[in-house]
Amino acid sequence: MISTDSRGLMLDEPLLFEQSQPGRIGYSLPDADVPPALPDIELLRDEITDFPELSEVDVIRHYTRLSTWNYGVDSGFYPLGSCTMKYNPKVNEVAARLPGFAEIHPQTPEALNQGALELMYRLERALAEVSGFPAICLQPAAGAQGELAGMLMIRAWHEARGNQRTKVIIPDTAHGTNPATSALCGYEVVPVTSTGILSLDAVAAVMSDEVAALMITNPNTLGLFEANIRAICELVHEQGGLVYCDGANLNALMGISRPGDLGIDVMHFNLHKTFSTPHGGGGPGAGPVGIAEKLIPFLPLPVITKEGDSYHFDYQRPQSIGRVKSFYGHFGILVRAYSYILAMGGEGLKKATELAVLNANYIRARLEGAYALPYKERSLHEVVFSEEKLGGGCHTLDVAKRLIDYGFHPPTIYFPLVVAGALMIEPTETESKQMIDDFCDAMLAIAAEARQDPDTLKQAPTRARRRRLDEATAARKPKLRWRSE
């Protein structure tokens, strides 16, 4: 039933439904020495047809085998750009599992939770130091929620001044969460075209007294530093607007440049990108926000304060935008991030940035002969190629699928949208030169295959458990439930 190849490796794994054997059960209880007491018949559920019948060991082996199919940053190089899949040192996991942190109940009274409050307070101070913002809120559960909290504070600031505005300027290189956040906050999005980086003239052309904010990512999603950022902030401020920075790419700045010093008013951090906490299937992550002085009255509730040697939650803040997350955010992620920052130290964080930038530029130098580079400026922590130079009618998707045959997770593809057939590669600081060379060798071999043997690319992946999926049929005629036929 379970197919294997000649080396005994599993090639496929049937569903639990397909493995079902009539009469098998997961556990048995000893005979009761008291008469059975049946529950109210009304409460009994109907017979479930086709419910899998399996032993405990069948189920354990099924899930254990499936778990070995996962490709994760602990099993191989993971060059997704914009997502920053960097290795998370295990010492941070040990810290997060300390019983005093892991078993704390969120409703424990403040007086008994002092260690947890102190950790959050210190993490806020550390993030303030890294970013140059005077105040930090740790609550948001992800970057996208940090954006929402930040933009709600911007809206509250304008409202408090009796000056409600209606528009937000967003460059065309932005991540989709930026316009989504602006729309959620009730703003009309004004797109602005950039030529690699955003020019002051492009912002001046759309800036007006109707604009509440500019949302900008620095370095942007092309991996380029927004060199006009100071002048752009000044221009937006002169006309009464604020500047939001999407901090997802802080990996390229940490320890070197502080967004708060550049004139930014609000920025979110993605702790699961920059501060080495796990990305897990959409969560949990953490997206703290850093804010300028003038936004402090609007911080989400509660705010952690320190009086003498004790820590408190302050709920007495009449202008607050309110709570953005139940309790205090994803505390376990905060412990990991704090542990990472302490382990690295200021010099270590700076070194991480330098290595991330060096690694991306090394990849760029090795691949730019074989892959087209639409923007020639020096890259920061990620590099974006296009499909333009690929031979044999091959596309970005073919390169991505072929990389799977070479044992690598594909990079981010078709993002940012301003590059046709984008291949966005972010090696991160945690990879060795040897690993990066292996990856570049694979990319160069694939570019050569595209010219000489394009069919191999178009058929890829050939060595994976699943071949290329028919995504159109899967989307149009989805099979969402197993049925016995």
Ligand X SMILES: *Cc1c(COP(=O)(O)O)cnc(C)c1O
Kindly tell me which residue out of 143, 219, 241, 259 binds ligand X, with binding defined by CB under 6 A.
143
- Give the shortest CB-144-to-ligand X separation in angstroms: 3
219, 226 contact by CB (below 8 A): yes
By beta-carbon proximity to ligand X, the closer residue of 175 and 258 is 175
Stretch of 140-148, 180-188, 313-321, 348-356 lying at the interface with ligand X (CB under 6 A): 140-148
- Give the shortest CB-181-to-ligand X separation in angstroms: 9
- Between helix 177-184 and helix 143-160 the angle, nearest 10°, is 40
Kindly tell me which residue out of 173, 177, 251, 430 binds ligand X, with binding defined by CB under 6 A.
177
Alpha carbons 272 and 96: distance in angstroms, whole number? 14
- Give the shortest CB-210-to-ligand X separation in angstroms: 25
**Amino acid identity for residue 64 in this structure:** T
By beta-carbon proximity to ligand X, the closer residue of 337 and 460 is 337
| Residue pointed to by tokens 């295990």 | 90
Number of residues in contact with ligand X under rule CB under 6 A? 14
- For residue 384, the surrounding DSSP H or E stretch is strand 383-385
Residue 331: which residues within 8 A CB-CB, separation 6 or more?
Answer: 101, 104, 106, 116, 120
Residue number of the CB closest to ligand X reads 143
Stretch of 137-145, 368-376, 386-394, 459-467 lying at the interface with ligand X (CB under 6 A): 137-145
**Bridge partner list, 306:** 311
| Residue pointed to by tokens 């920053």 | 84
- Give the shortest CB-272-to-ligand X separation in angstroms: 6
By beta-carbon proximity to ligand X, the closer residue of 413 and 442 is 413
Stretch of 139-147, 208-216, 382-390, 425-433 lying at the interface with ligand X (CB under 6 A): 139-147
Token pair recorded at residue 240: 């009464």
Provide the 10 A C-beta neighbour count for residue 358.
Answer: 15
Alpha carbons 17 and 12: distance in angstroms, whole number? 14
Of 286, 322, 295, give the one whose Cα is nearest residue 143.
Answer: 286
- Give the shortest CB-98-to-ligand X separation in angstroms: 25
Q: Give, as ranges, the residues between 179 and 238 that touch ligand X (CB under 6 A).
A: 217, 221
- Give the shortest CB-81-to-ligand X separation in angstroms: 8
Residue 82 sits in the site that holds ligand X (CB under 6 A): yes
284, 304 contact by CB (below 8 A): no
**Amino acid identity for residue 140 in this structure:** P
By beta-carbon proximity to ligand X, the closer residue of 217 and 428 is 217
- Give the shortest CB-100-to-ligand X separation in angstroms: 27
Q: What is the largest CA-CA distance in the chain?
A: 85
- Give the shortest CB-83-to-ligand X separation in angstroms: 6
Kindly tell me which residue out of 144, 233, 262, 299 binds ligand X, with binding defined by CB under 6 A.
144
Of 252, 224, 278, give the one whose Cα is nearest residue 355.
Answer: 252
Burial 250-259 (b: 16+ CB within 10 A, else e): bbbbbbebbb
Residue 175 sits in the site that holds ligand X (CB under 6 A): yes
Q: Give, as ranges, the residues between 243 and 282 that touch ligand X (CB under 6 A).
A: 246, 248, 270
**Bridge partner list, 424:** 384, 412
List the x/- string, 305-344, binding to ligand X by CB under 6 A.
----------------------------------------
Q: Which residues bind ligand X (CB under 6 A)?
A: 82-83, 142-144, 175, 177, 217, 221, 246, 248, 270, 285, 287
